[in-house]
Amino acid sequence: MNICVIGTGYVGLVTGTVFAELGNEVVCVDNVAEKIENLNRRKLPIYEPGLQELVERNHNEGRLKFSTDAKSAVEFSEIIFICVGTPSSDSGETDLSAVEAVAKLIAKHMNGYKIVVNKSTVPVGTGDLVRNIINKHCVDGHKFDVVSNPEFLREGQAVNDALNPDRIIIGASEKQVAYRLLELYSSLQAPMIITDVYSAEIIKYASNSFLAMKISFINAVADLCEMVGADVEDVANGVGRDPRIGVDFLNSGLGFGGSCFPKDVKSLLHTSGKLGYDFNLLKNVLEINEGRVDRFTSLIRRRFPDMKGKTFAVLGLAFKPNTDDMRDAKSVEVINDLLKGGAVIRAFDPVAMPAAQKVLPSITYCQTAYEACNGADALLLITEWREFKLLNLEKIKQTMKNPVIFDGRNMYNPERKKRLGFEYFGLGRKFSNHMPEKGK
Ligand code: NAD
């Protein structure tokens, strides 16, 4: 099939590349010319494991093209995917300006029947909005359908997720249209669920909000554990073994960030409010999450009441491991808070440092985790990259001014770190230095 993907970011680039890999002719469009020029030179705008080679292969073989020319791309395609950003405003309302702009663009350049697919995460009713915009701006009266096909890929494993999705959701008003879209996915082994457009739109928000709720839930339990001297990791393990609950997303720590969970929870809350439903549960999810950084930096402040001139080694900057995405990354909140207290920051992240430099210009970036820790008063684990788990902490301890660890992701074993001679501070962890002796 001939496909056009508008918006060549994390979702659009991965989706377009995977459709090309499945044998389709794909044009990926973006309005940032530099991004397209770089892609045509096979320089990717984002880091995503496995993506570089997939882009190179499909580009070399001519199935995957990159362009700023939306007109030609729309004319060429039967199916057009909208994959632009949908950030949230302060009120939580979703900013749909990029989606609206793309809908106008499609309307202007349509030269025959098109299936327009919303892959961007958009509030319920946006399918109607896109249809109305196209109707209004399409002068030639071409036929079209608007479909919702929300995306569930996870940054850091996006290629694998796109090739092996756990489900494919198609929200369409006509079964025939849904079937046409399903053909595109037919070689993937995944449950395909056809719904109406509204249901598909809600599925995406309900999924992300539920996962965010699990994280906030276990973080609230972590606070309880701190009060009695219990260990949240043991509790999460015991709770998660119930197959009705599951162990995933029960990792306590600094809470959720990134470009999706915070904005999607806020958006669902906003949509509910507009419909007259007070979704208090989601307010609590956000409140708990927003308090996590403060809880973490309070631990640091208690241990280092005067931060002026203290050097902290920050390990991990990206909002989660295996990505360079710094959007709503907890590292930014933590570091800005410590900088205000006069601290010096030496940071290392395996891939996110170029992106981090744009939002955190006044800190020192190091080549390795070992270099970051050299001479530091404390090590702050912010993003749980696997390589940080494998560090030689005995070696690190020799070079630090004070052997102190603040573990924002509960990645290390507190007892083992204490045996190595570290002061260990985790969130809701037994044997953490600030925990009561009860329950020992
Ligand atoms: P992104 O910011 O990485 O990419 C968006 C791209 O759209 C950018 O390259 C931007 O230049 C381009 N763009 C904006 N306006 C345009 C226009 N008028 N014409 C052409 N290109 C335009 O965003 P993303 O992370 O890929 O997210 C896209 C959507 O997918 C969002 O709605 C997001 O919520 C959703 N989503 C994201 C993820 C994720 O993990 N990132 C997962 C599932 C769903």
Residues near 59 by Cβ (< 8 Å), separated by ≥ 6?
42, 65, 66
Is there an atom of ligand 1 within 6 Å of 335 CB?
Answer: no
Task: Count Cα atoms within 13 angstroms, Cβ side, for 148.
Answer: 28
What is the tally of helices (H) and strands (E) in the chain?
A: 19, 14
Residues near 179 by Cβ (< 8 Å), separated by ≥ 6?
none
Give pLDDT tens digits for 350-390: 999 999 999 999 999 999 999 999 999 999 999 999 999 99
Domain span(s) for CATH 3.40.50.720 in the chain: 2-195, 292-425
CB distance 326 to 319 below 8 Å? yes
> Which residue in the block uniquely carries the two structure tokens 């360079």?
324
Q: Can you read off the two tokens belonging to residue 251?
A: 């990792």
Measure Cα distances from 244 to 240, 248, 346 in Å. 8, 12, 42
Q: Can you read off the two tokens belonging to residue 292?
A: 């996590």
Decide: residue 25, CB within 10 A, 0-12 exposed, 13-18 middle, 19+ buried.
Answer: middle
pLDDT at site 434:
79
Ligand 1 centroid vs 115 CA: distance in angstroms? 19
Q: Can you read off the two tokens belonging to residue 317?
A: 């900057």
Is there an atom of ligand 1 within 6 Å of 102 CB?
Answer: yes
Give pLDDT tens digits for 95-146: 999 999 999 999 999 999 999 999 999 999 999 999 999 999 998 889 999 9
CATH of domain 204-290: 1.10.1040.10
Q: Can you read off the two tokens belonging to residue 305?
A: 């009441």
Phi-psi region of 309 (alpha: psi -120 to 50; beta: other; left: phi over 0): left
Is there an atom of ligand 1 within 6 Å of 29 CB?
Answer: yes
CATH of domain 2-195: 3.40.50.720
Nearest CA to ligand 1 atom 23: 85
Count of beta carbons in the 10 Å neighbourhood of residue 355: 20
Domain span(s) for CATH 1.10.1040.10 in the chain: 204-290
* pTM of this structure: 0.95
Decide: residue 179, CB within 10 A, 0-12 exposed, 13-18 middle, 19+ buried.
Answer: middle
Tell me which of 4, 28, 138, 260 is the catalytic residue. Answer: 260
Residue 138 among the catalytic residues:
no
* CA–CA separation, 339 and 345 (whole Å): 8
pLDDT at site 440:
42
* CA–CA separation, 127 and 203 (whole Å): 14
pLDDT in tens, the chain (440 residues): 999 999 999 999 999 999 999 999 999 999 999 999 999 999 999 999 999 999 999 999 999 999 999 999 999 999 999 999 999 988 999 999 999 999 999 999 999 999 999 999 999 999 999 999 999 999 888 999 999 999 999 999 999 999 999 999 999 999 999 999 999 999 998 999 999 999 999 999 999 999 999 999 999 999 999 999 999 999 999 999 999 999 999 999 999 999 999 999 999 999 999 999 999 999 999 999 999 999 999 999 999 999 999 999 999 999 999 999 999 999 999 999 999 999 999 999 999 999 999 999 999 999 999 999 999 999 999 999 999 999 999 999 999 999 999 999 999 999 999 999 999 999 999 878 877 655 44
pLDDT at site 437:
55
Ligand 1 mutation target, pool 30, 102, 152, 264, most atoms within 8 A of CB: 30
CATH of domain 292-425: 3.40.50.720
pLDDT at site 126:
98
Ligand 1 atom with least separation from CA of 121: 32
Is there an atom of ligand 1 within 6 Å of 126 CB?
Answer: no
Nearest CA to ligand 1 atom 41: 10
